[in-house]
Structure 1
């Protein structure tokens, strides 16, 4: 999953610089960043993103303390010291030399003084995006062998980088003309500093492979001058759930492709969305690893009960996310002072798991996961049906939200792909194809057109009341929203399947009818009889082709019979014989007379 928090001057910057950059440990004053990272046993941060070229950096470069302070803390060029010295050597004033290093508007200019009419506005420095794989991936990474750990870390790198690339290319917007009222895509992409952590903040250290991706607020506008500005925060925040589902989808695909493992849905809370977990990992280890998660869930249950008592209904998606953040803040424990290397941590985790459940729970972990994956692939057919995916997405989003935007559909489409494919790769653009099918067939705009809602008249053309088919399901307030959403999705999927069956039955031919396509007159095909023969209409006249074929065959048979009768009469006249009655017209072989059923393997003649 992905969580997002803003980085602001003051406490936010100090938390980033003294905590996040050193593995959520404690960095004493005066200790260098690299020394603190070595002591904490975490790797140094690295730069990521297409926007690095604009500031003279490359992907994979180590994040130095001074670069982070300049770019992420002050919104200046990471090589500002050199640029400032060069400007001073050219005769510029200190203020002019410093201004030459600022990317966009100086941060101090973005801060408005506090008055009676307006509150103080604190500028943003960046966004801290935290990428966490599913719990069973943490377990396999912590308790598996050395090769498994390296592969899972590689999968984390690839999934994270692909998601950051999507945010930079498809989502990130920058203020453009008119004081931010108009926005445009960023010119070069994002500038991101990534810091890897290995453990959770729980009082007892537990495995938690996760990355802090600190996105700089600065980005270049798409103009010829290459001016700099600030990213739009609301655009990134609106798409954070869609980014979360994309990251999970990529991570699942990489793990399945490289390790041969499969994924299965696990219901954490009854009636809520399931989470995808690795098949074959002992579920008891999730409770052992998720000490911190259990603390948050305990606090969240109390907050949710208070919310329902006050509001009179369960929290929706947005309120549930806010309550989850509140529960995490309430249960946040102080940082640990004991710092261990990853090798020491893995040894401690293995000893803790053995004491809790015995060595059998993770012995031959990779072999068990591959065996469980084989069972999953034998049971589940990873095929995406666009029509069924579209009705599933629109049903869930409509019941959960009522009115929605495109990014809500995109997030649900990616969840659908995760559930259906179980780690198998998806075709690029398939999620967008599902969303476009929903927008085209099952939605209509509401309000001023910024939002949309479900429109099911394509499935229920005689439905005079808007959404009448789903109203009985959505009014079941005793059930959680997601449970009602699944009921609605099942109803729509049944409707699509019924429509398909009706279409197949409507186009099914009469038994044993003969069909001759009109377009094949110049090159006639062999006649087909039996259940697979189709009923066709002539494109020019719309006449039933079977009836026309019957008439044609009858006329041809009559003509043949007349020719035979004339030649026989001629022979009889030549030999002085008496004329005999003409035989009845017999249809050509391999054809079936209308209305007569032919039984294969038996003669069509009389009884012997």
Structure 2
């Protein structure tokens, strides 16, 4: 999961040095950052990113308090003191020496135009609650695996932002250039403000990046932060997918969907981690829900209606801010681990706590036995396209890419997959199920790939109201619930069509080959006929998808699909899809000219000699 915040005020660096760099605590006044970190047993901040080479810094080197003040407070080189003193010793004027250490446009000039300079973006990466529970209550090996996966997932997300997203802009956006080199100061935290486990990492991305000018000389400028903002969701799904997959493969675990908020997308948690432990670590959630209930009541009284989806999101943010506790006194990780174990023992008992990892592995083994590391790209593409279309109507490639990564996480349940499969599903979804809405205007340059928008023509279900449970008021169906229903009928029709088509292919007894829509895990042998493979893919999808989606309903038993009129509507969608499929199947392909008898005999002889795909050719005479 990934969240982002702006670092704008010139004194904002003080908040990060006094709080974030100090384990989200409140550092005593007059105590240096390094001394406070050593006294509290906290890890220091580390520099990350490819942009460090232009600054003469090394990856993983320590971030000092002076570095933070110069880079994130004044927009200057982190080692500006040494550079400025060297220039002064060479006889340079003080103003010239200082200007030589400024990265890009001076902050004073921006403030002189009555504008607030954007100094950095705070990207905060954190895993799911179940992974945090395993990290906090597991043994030393489990913690090392989870921390290593977290480290590599953050690195991969930052590398993806550098390679695919990061751009610099100048001349009010008229000039742009790719800049695959960010400067990042990373600070790792172990707990939340209540002192309960919450592994997360603050990555401050400096709003300065180097490019080559027209004369070939390096120049510093500002990042296109709007473009970074637009790709936050895609970067967050990449982090979650990467970390979850690595942990599950390393420890033999699997994931299951857990509904956090009714109507919203489920969170893929580690199977076997009890809900009581997740609630134990999520200390603020109950307080937020209590405050949110009061805010919802006030909203209904003021507006005469219940809040919609956008209003509910705003009320949730307000409830989170209202329940935010004060800063704490940070503690070393060893003390936190002891405290967490004692608290969990009092909550769930020794038997449940000691058998946590064993139980997760047992449940994970059962799920992994059902879910084959095999993805049907055709089904994935139509599912991704239908969900994104219903949620957004018009969308860009980044939206489809984020949904493709969610689909892999939901479908594979933590199993590894071929690198680049998320991009492949995205390309197939855009190519097969969408059409562009962004045109090329005469006399203007063609839009960049990230500026192209698409739409689709999937059937769209109407909105419906869902009865409340446990005394809660009714609510309107969410866009995600409507998206799942919109893709259900189309996916079922495609499943049926592919199974029948594969069976017809198998009747010809030709050389067996993997269907073009199948993507295997690297190194996995293909031992099934096309018909068997299609049936296996269907069974895999049935095993991997959440039960509420297989049964044709959403997570609430009172959803629209249970009503007779909407069941009829879904049946009409299915009949229309079946009719289109039958029309396509009944269309006869042009007959090929008859081959001579000698050629037919030669072809049959060659087919008998050639082994099927994945079969052992055996000894040759």
Is the pair's TM-score, using the shorter chain for normalization, greater than 0.5? yes
Corresponding residue for residue 134 of structure 1:
128
Matched, 1:183 2:176: yes
Secondary structure in structure 2 of the residue aligned to 1:155: helix
Query: Cα distance, 1:446 vs. partner?
Result: 2.6
**Structure 2: distance between partners of 1:264 and 1:5:** 30
Corresponding residue for residue 366 of structure 1:
357
Q: What aligned pairs does 1:150-161 form with structure 2 within 5 A after superposition?
A: 150-161=144-155
Corresponding residue for residue 44 of structure 2:
44
- Gap regions ≥5 residues in structure 1: 114-119, 457-466, 516-530, 533-538, 554-608
Pick aligned residue for 2:192 from 184, 191, 200: 200
**Structure 2: distance between partners of 1:307 and 1:411:** 32
**Structure 2: distance between partners of 1:404 and 1:250:** 24
- Change in CA separation of 1:106 and 1:311 when aligned onto 2, cut-off 3 Å: farther
Matched, 1:482 2:485: no
Secondary structure in structure 1 of the residue aligned to 2:31: coil
Q: What aligned pairs does 1:60-459 form with structure 2 within 5 A after superposition?
A: 60-113=60-113, 120-176=114-170, 178-186=171-179, 188-202=180-194, 205-223=195-213, 224-300=216-292, 303=295, 310=303, 315-316=308-309, 322-336=314-328, 338-446=329-437, 448=439, 450=451, 452-456=453-457
- Change in CA separation of 1:278 and 1:231 when aligned onto 2, cut-off 3 Å: same
Query: Cα distance, 1:258 vs. partner?
Result: 2.2
Native 8 Å contact 1:403 1:451 kept in 2: no
Native 8 Å contact 2:389 2:456 kept in 1: no
Secondary structure in structure 1 of the residue aligned to 2:29: coil
**Structure 2: distance between partners of 1:48 and 1:310:** 48
**Structure 2: distance between partners of 1:312 and 1:342:** 48
- Change in CA separation of 1:502 and 1:142 when aligned onto 2, cut-off 3 Å: closer
Matched, 1:492 2:482: no
Secondary structure in structure 2 of the residue aligned to 1:384: strand
Query: Cα distance, 1:323 vs. partner?
Result: 4.6
Per-residue displacement from partner, 1:288-338 (whole Å, max 9, x unpaired)? 11012333344445556766885968645x7665554433222211112x4
Query: Cα distance, 1:133 vs. partner?
Result: 0.7
**Structure 2: distance between partners of 1:438 and 1:314:** 33
Native 8 Å contact 1:46 1:60 kept in 2: yes
Query: Cα distance, 1:455 vs. partner?
Result: 2.8
Native 8 Å contact 1:382 1:422 kept in 2: no
Native 8 Å contact 1:139 1:285 kept in 2: yes
| Equivalent pairs, count | 502
Native 8 Å contact 1:48 1:60 kept in 2: yes
- Change in CA separation of 1:156 and 1:540 when aligned onto 2, cut-off 3 Å: closer
**Structure 2: distance between partners of 1:293 and 1:150:** 28
TM-score (norm 1): 0.77
